[in-house]
Structure 1
Amino acid sequence: MAPTAASTAPTAFAATAYVAARSRAHGPTAALWHAVELHRPASEVDGACELTLCGTLARVTLDEDWPTSARDVCVPCAALAGSGR
């Protein structure tokens, strides 16, 4: 029996989890808070550098929630994470 469209349709997954990450300042560019999509347990990424939603490498911190209430937030990460900034 051949699979039908209904049986091969993608299934709904749990909501995407994001964690906050802090980039380094580079010359005139200030350090910003970025969003990282979490694909493994948070304990495995705390303090590690990860690729952010906007493509920057930043150090993950579990001390700051995402979306963060900080003012120095990466606008593209906020938009891509859907936090409405």
Structure 2
Amino acid sequence: MMSVTTVFAAARSRAHGPTAALWHAVEVHRPAAEVDGACELTVCGTLARVSPGEQWPVRATDVCPACVSLAR
């Protein structure tokens, strides 16, 4: 039996109009060095820049509620 572990990285979106920048989760299928600072599609469907210095889940108040729900 094979055990699969899903790894998530933290990513920060950009503020867009009246929408604030939020922290999102990105499902990672590559080594962390390959996604360092790259824009990736988040689990909720937003494009956000991966922040290699942050771990998911981030300890912040400005976190995407959809990513929190989907990245469990």
Q: Which has the larger radius of gyration?
A: 1
How large is the RMSD of aligned CA atoms in angstroms?
Answer: 0.9
Q: Percent of aligned pairs with the same residue? A: 68
Work out whether 1:14 is the aligned partner of 2:8. no
More strand by share: 2
TM-score of the two chains, using structure 1 as the length reference: 0.81
Helix, strand or coil: the match of 2:26? strand
TM-score of the two chains, using structure 2 as the length reference: 0.95
Q: Answer 1 or 2: higher relative contact order, Cα 8 Å, separation at least 6.
A: 2
Q: Deviations over 1:18-76 (max 9, x none)?
A: 00000000000000000000000000001000000000000001111100101100000
Of residues 27, 48, 51 in structure 2, which corresponds to 1:37?
27
Q: Which runs of 4+ in 1 moved over 6 A?
A: none
**5+ long unaligned stretches in structure 2:** none
Work out whether 1:68 is the aligned partner of 2:58. yes
For this pair of structures, how many residues does the alignment match? 72
